[in-house]
Amino acid sequence: MMIRSFIAIDFPEETRKKLEDIQKKLKHYGPGVRWVKPRSIHLTLKFLGTIDASQVEDIGRAVAQGIRDQSPITLRPAGLGAFPGLRKPRVIWIGMEGEVQRLTGIQARVENALEPLGFVREKRGFRPHLTIGRVKDRRRLQSLVDAMVTLEMEPFNSFDADEIILYKSDLRPTGAIYTKLHRMPLAAPASP
């Protein structure tokens, strides 16, 4: 059986609620945006594409081995932006603060662990973010961009990411459904 899959970090429900609040504020300004359901937002480390279900265990083992000496990391969503930029936004996102350098290192370890299994390295540099919306209609975008620039966001609380998850993605007309297939802990003891 073939499945679409990706590797990501999940975060607390409290964070999802704040993301939803930001989306509600921006919805008034962006009628041509498909907003991601808060329960579907995650911090993607690697999109794998379509894999055979028989690969799940091998992927889980390889990534777990690659991150075995990594302890949990502290992260905090912060900052609103767009890809490729605010002049022609296609993806609306919230950035990340905290141990971003360590997160980037962990993402590189995931890439290294998966390369021997035939997964091609991402050519673009890793930019940790949470996608909250995708622009579908470019008309009347200026009011959305203006709102993004002036929106005052209540600060998010930090959270500790203590695992990486291999997800299955089922695309449906109502939006994607994500299922956790394999959990890989960030569990190394902290250095003295």
182 is catalytic: no
| 55 phi and psi angles, rounded to 5 deg | -85, -10
- Considering 42, 46, 109, 182, which one is annotated as catalytic? 42
Return the residue matching tokens 């009347």: 140
42 is catalytic: yes
Q: How far apart are CA 24 and CA 16, in angstroms?
A: 12
- Considering 129, 130, 145, 181, which one is annotated as catalytic? 129
SS3 string of 111-166? HHHHHHHCCCCCCCCCCCEEEEEEECCCCCCHHHHHHHHHCCCCCCCCEEECEEEE
Residue 149 tokens read as 């620039």
56's enclosing H/E stretch is: helix 56-66
Task: Report the catalytic residues.
Answer: 42, 129
